């Protein structure tokens, strides 16, 4: 077993010993290289450290039974990274180059891809490296693009425990125009309210519902599910357009569910939760069932309080495609 393999390691805590790096300087991206994962030397005046010019991505590569390693929806993640860079006025990664960086890194880390339900989690990171502490309103002319890889194992190794979620109508996860951007500052912004809620209510996460409209949690999209039906917020700038969300909705439509994407409020969600299911979607867990919603100090059980059958069914359908047990009928997988 390679040194990076430790199935007990918490998600994201282990990295492979290789990373891919490209630098943007003098108006152009340089060639990337693959080097030993380790500290970078950088000036304390770089733009990202002061003005938050950084964004990242997260997705997985899976080891399939035929021995190949395949990356899930690489094109969508590259496009979302480019969109994040654009929103933050950072040098936009070149699509083919970032794709090549990911594929090369996965190829070089082949040995480190765990067996399903494990995967190799991939984390491209882009940040502004211009050295100037007077650049609050000036974009970074220089940037570094790095792809890290992290072997991850079964997210639900301890069983699929239903989540307890605080419904928060007062806080915002982040600035409304940046919800769609995968930037570090959004996670920093959600940290305070999330830790406070964990402490006060013993919840796992906060479901941000500013103005009473159901949005998303700190790191996952939110879906209401019941037999033959899925309801989730329609896409706008206020929340991250999850690739898992999109994949689940595509699958659900094909499986005969009626999928509704629209704005909905807290009362409708609580009504749905009386007999239906609720779940969080994202790369890490794919789909995690919500068992309890805490609203204004009152705990509401979602369905019978356990992970629901429709949630399990949808999750299993997507996991089967990712792991290569079901046909890749939407062309979602890229061989590394
Ligand atoms: C804020 C937020 N929402 C939603 C998601 C789910 O996105 P995806 O399904 O692309 O992983 C994530 C995770 O990346 C996230 O950080």
**What are the pLDDT tens digits along the chain (336 aa)?**
565 678 888 888 999 999 999 999 999 999 999 999 999 999 999 999 999 999 999 999 999 999 999 999 999 999 999 999 999 999 999 999 999 999 999 999 999 999 988 999 999 999 999 999 999 999 999 999 999 999 999 888 778 899 999 999 999 999 999 999 999 999 999 999 999 999 999 999 999 999 999 999 999 999 999 999 999 999 999 999 999 999 999 999 999 999 999 999 999 999 999 999 999 999 999 999 999 999 999 999 999 999 999 999 999 999 999 999 999 999 999 999
- Which ligand 1 atom sits closest to the C-alpha of 186? 1
CA–centroid distance, 51 to ligand 1, in Å, is 23
In sequence order, which residues have a C-beta less than 8 Å from that of residue 335 and are 6 or more positions away? 68, 69, 70, 71
Which residue has the least CA distance to atom 6 on ligand 1?
282
C-alpha 150/C-alpha 166 separation (Å) is 30
For ligand 1, residues with CB inside 6 Å are: 58, 216, 219-221, 240, 242-245, 281-283
**Mutate which of 193, 220, 279 to test ligand 1's pocket (most atoms within 8 Å of Cβ)?**
220
- Which ligand 1 atom sits closest to the C-alpha of 245? 9
Contact between residue 128 and residue 255 where contact means Cβ atoms under 8 Å apart: no
In sequence order, which residues have a C-beta less than 8 Å from that of residue 331 and are 6 or more positions away? none
C-alpha 193/C-alpha 118 separation (Å) is 31
CA–centroid distance, 180 to ligand 1, in Å, is 10
Helix, strand, coil share (%) of the chain residues, nearest 5:
30, 30, 40
Which residue has the least CA distance to atom 7 on ligand 1?
242
C-alpha 81/C-alpha 95 separation (Å) is 9
**Mutate which of 219, 233, 243 to test ligand 1's pocket (most atoms within 8 Å of Cβ)?**
219
- Which ligand 1 atom sits closest to the C-alpha of 80? 10
**Closest by alpha carbon to 201, among 78, 82, 306, 293?**
293
pTM attached to this predicted model: 0.96
pLDDT of amino acid 3: 56
pLDDT of amino acid 154: 83
Which residue has the least CA distance to atom 3 on ligand 1?
220
Contact between residue 189 and residue 173 where contact means Cβ atoms under 8 Å apart: yes
CA–centroid distance, 233 to ligand 1, in Å, is 14
CA–centroid distance, 138 to ligand 1, in Å, is 28
Locate all alpha helices (DSSP H) within 202-305, ordered by sequence. Answer: 243-254, 266-275
CA–centroid distance, 111 to ligand 1, in Å, is 27
CA–centroid distance, 219 to ligand 1, in Å, is 5
CA–centroid distance, 5 to ligand 1, in Å, is 25
Could you tell me the two tokens for 39? 């500290």
How far from 95 is each of 54, 101, 184, 220, 301, CA to CA, in Å?
17, 10, 21, 25, 44
Q: Look-up: residue for tokens 């959600």?
A: 190
CA–centroid distance, 57 to ligand 1, in Å, is 9
Q: How far is CA 212 from the centre of its chain?
A: 24
pLDDT of amino acid 6: 82
Which residue has the least CA distance to atom 5 on ligand 1?
220
**Mutate which of 182, 244, 280 to test ligand 1's pocket (most atoms within 8 Å of Cβ)?**
244
C-alpha 173/C-alpha 193 separation (Å) is 8
pLDDT of amino acid 212: 97
Contact between residue 186 and residue 179 where contact means Cβ atoms under 8 Å apart: yes
Locate all alpha helices (DSSP H) within the chain, ordered by sequence. Answer: 47-51, 74-87, 95-108, 184-201, 243-254, 266-275, 309-322
C-alpha 86/C-alpha 88 separation (Å) is 5
Positive or negative torsion for Cα 235, 149, 204, 227: positive
pLDDT of amino acid 176: 94
pLDDT of amino acid 2: 62
């Amino acid at each position: 077993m390679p040194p990076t393999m430790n199935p007990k390691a918490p998600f994201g805590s282990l990295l492979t010993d290789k990373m891919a790096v490209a630098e943007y300087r003098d108006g152009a991206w340089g060639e990337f290289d693959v080097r030993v994962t380790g500290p970078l030397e950088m000036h304390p005046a770089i733009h990202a450290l002061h003005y938050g010019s950084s964004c990242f991505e997260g997705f997985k590569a899976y080891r399939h039974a035929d021995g190949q390693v395949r990356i899930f929806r690489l094109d969508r993640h590259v496009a979302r990274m480019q969109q994040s860079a654009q929103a933050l006025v950072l040098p936009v990664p070149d699509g083919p180059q970032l794709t090549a960086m990911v594929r090369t890194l996965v190829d070089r880390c082949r040995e480190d891809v765990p067996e399903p339900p494990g995967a190799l989690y991939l984390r491209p990171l882009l940040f502004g490296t211009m050295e100037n502490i007077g650049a609050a309103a000036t974009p970074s002319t220089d940037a570094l693009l790095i792809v890290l890889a992290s072997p991850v194992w079964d997210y639900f190794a301890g069983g699929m425990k239903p989540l307890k979620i605080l419904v928060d109508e007062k806080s915002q996860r982040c600035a409304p125009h940046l919800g769609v951007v995968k930037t570090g500052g959004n996670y920093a912004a959600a940290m305070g309210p999330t830790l406070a809620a964990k402490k006060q209510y013993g919840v796992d996460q906060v479901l941000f519902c500013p103005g009473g409209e159901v949005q998303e949690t700190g790191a996952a999209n939110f879906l209401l599910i019941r037999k033959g039906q899925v309801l989730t917020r329609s896409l706008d700038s206020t929340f991250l357009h999850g690739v898992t969300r999109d994949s689940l909705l595509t699958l659900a439509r094909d499986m005969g569910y009626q999928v509704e994407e629209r704005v909905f409020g807290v009362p409708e969600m609580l009504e749905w939760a009386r007999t239906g299911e609720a779940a969080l979607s994202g790369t890490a867990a794919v789909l995690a069932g919500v068992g309890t919603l805490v609203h204004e100090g009152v705990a509401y059980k979602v369905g019978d309080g356990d992970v629901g059958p429709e949630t399990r069914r949808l999750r299993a359908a997507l996991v089967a495609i990712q792991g290569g047990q079901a046909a890749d009928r939407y062309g979602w997988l890229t061989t590394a």
